[in-house]
């Protein structure tokens, strides 16, 4: 009795159902590109709030440029530093490659090697400066200094901690002091290895690095806008270079995401259309069923946009495949029951019979799919698992709702062409069999 009432209602609203499907398809298609898509999922630690209260979140970019472009680095880094979202820019020229005067070198060594120089009292300042001047003379192989000399920090420190200590022709108080203390000598050796390792992080055999630190989120419109500004600066100042980082990779993935999803959608739609067309021997039925399930995909993305959710890009692709491959079975089951009953019953009774024969199977199977994925999505710890399961749960809900609520009315609205195609196929099939049998009968 209940199914008969539902069938009558579906029949009365059959043209509304057609309009509803078209409207949902259009709205879903327009909103799907506005859905928030994530390209990397980062683990959420239990003590994230504590960590964030101490350490500011940092989003880093690494620019690889050929060593032949070293003369362009200064202009490039100055342009990058001028960006409002940049916290720091690290290059070899700004760190290990910085040029030092005598006073700069004294200050550097007092900070980096306090055991060697320590806090210099004012009374000792002139003596320490004289010692540094002597080191400059030895390093530059000069007898006198005019005060304009500058030395590269990396080469100068490597000389003091390395070559100077093994050069028998050199004799000064710093060398004597280091070699007389085994612990200090060990500390200097460790410092030499550290500074060489640091240089290898910035300068390679063919390429060197510019390291950029920002406090931007890993993925957001603001972050992607910064990527575009960074691209413009690098193209204008540097020419050939390569940018690395999770955000930059996400930006490139976003650029190709729509085309890739559209290609996947097209391929799945074509193949499923062919399978359903061969199954029902009709072109109208696969058009309706594929449009119905594709509408469920669009509604899933539209829901994420309206609910301010973000879906992992793989979740969207997986939902596309699962909804097309699994939930379309519900639509096929209902349509097949309707068309079979339509051979002997009227339109309303055929809908009622289709409901009676299909609804139990549809709701049982879809409930398992929906609740299992929903529970896993709400309880799992792994973010990718959560995203995929929640997307499947939402998508399966929309697919089943469309199959149970909208599809019956559409079948009723398209009753004549659907039944006509089935009848014509049976007539053509019968004629073909009859002709085949005649050809087989010997004369």
- What's the CATH number for 2-42+257-425? 1.20.1640.10
Q: How confident is the model at residue 48 (pLDDT cuts 50, 70, 90)?
A: low
- pTM equals 0.69
Residue 404 above 80 pLDDT? yes
**Cα torsion angle, 48, 50, 53, 57, sign:** negative
Q: What angle do CA 66, 237, 233 make, to 5 degrees?
A: 110
User: What is the predicted pLDDT for the residue at 435?
Assistant: 53
Residue 33 main-chain phi, psi, to 5 deg = -75, -10
The dihedral region occupied by 65, where left means phi > 0, alpha psi between -120 and 50, and beta the remainder, is: beta
Contact 110, 118 (CB under 8 A): yes
Domain boundaries, the chain: 2-42+257-425, 99-202
Lowest-confidence pick of 101-110, 171-180, 404-413? 101-110
Residue 313 above 70 pLDDT? yes
Residue 58 above 60 pLDDT? yes
Q: How confident is the model at residue 423 (pLDDT cuts 50, 70, 90)?
A: low
The crossing angle, in degrees rounded to 10, of helices 383-401 and 347-379 is: 170
Residues with Cβ within 8 Å of residue 280, at least 6 apart in sequence: 286, 335, 336, 339, 421, 422
Arithmetic mean of pLDDT over the chain: 82
User: What is the predicted pLDDT for the residue at 420?
Assistant: 65
- 298-337 in b/e form (b: 16+ CB < 10 A) is bbbbbbbbeeeeebbbebbbbbbebbbebbbbbbbbbbbb
């Amino acid at each position: 009795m209940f199914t008969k009432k539902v069938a009558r209602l579906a029949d009365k609203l059959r043209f509304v159902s057609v309009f509803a499907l078209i409207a949902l398809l259009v709205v879903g298609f327009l909103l799907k590109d506005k859905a928030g898509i994530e390209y990397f999922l980062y683990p959420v630690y239990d003590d994230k709030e504590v960590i964030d209260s101490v350490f500011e979140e940092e989003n880093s970019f690494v620019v690889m440029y050929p060593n032949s472009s070293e003369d362009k680095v200064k202009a490039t880094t100055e342009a990058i530093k001028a960006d409002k979202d940049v916290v720091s820019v690290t290059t070899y020229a700004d760190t290990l490659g910085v040029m030092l005067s005598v006073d700069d070198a004294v200050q550097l060594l007092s900070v980096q090697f306090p055991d060697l120089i320590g806090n210099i009292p004012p009374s000792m300042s002139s003596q320490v400066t004289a010692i540094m001047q002597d080191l400059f003379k030895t390093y530059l192989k000069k007898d006198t200094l005019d005060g304009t000399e500058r030395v590269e920090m990396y080469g100068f420190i490597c000389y003091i901690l390395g070559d100077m200590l093994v050069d028998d022709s050199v004799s000064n108080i710093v060398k004597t002091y280091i070699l007389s203390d085994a612990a200090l000598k060990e500390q200097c050796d460790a410092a030499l290895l550290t500074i060489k390792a640091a240089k290898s992080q910035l300068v390679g055999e063919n390429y060197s690095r510019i390291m950029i630190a920002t406090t931007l989120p890993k993925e957001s419109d603001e972050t992607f806008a910064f990527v575009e500004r960074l691209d413009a600066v690098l193209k204008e100042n540097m020419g050939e270079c390569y940018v690395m980082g999770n955000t930059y990779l996400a930006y490139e993935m976003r650029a190709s995401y729509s085309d890739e999803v559209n290609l996947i959608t097209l391929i799945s739609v074509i193949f499923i259309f062919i399978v359903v067309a061969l199954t029902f021997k009709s072109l109208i039925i696969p058009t309706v069923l594929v449009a119905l399930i594709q509408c469920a995909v669009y509604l899933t993305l539209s829901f994420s946009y309206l609910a301010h959710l973000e879906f992992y890009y793989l979740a969207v692709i997986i939902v596309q495949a699962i909804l097309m491959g699994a939930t379309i079975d519900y639509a096929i089951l209902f349509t097949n029951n309707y068309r079979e009953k339509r051979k002997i019953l009227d339109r309303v009774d055929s809908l009622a019979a289709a409901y009676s024969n299909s609804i139990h199977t549809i709701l049982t199977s879809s409930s398992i799919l929906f609740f299992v994925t929903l529970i896993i999505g709400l309880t799992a710890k792994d973010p990718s698992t959560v995203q995929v399961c929640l997307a499947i749960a939402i998508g399966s809900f929309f697919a089943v709702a469309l199959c149970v609520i909208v599809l019956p009315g559409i079948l009723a609205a398209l009753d004549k062409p659907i039944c006509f195609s089935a009848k014509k196929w049976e007539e053509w099939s019968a004629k073909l069999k009859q002709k085949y049998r005649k050809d087989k009968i010997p004369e």
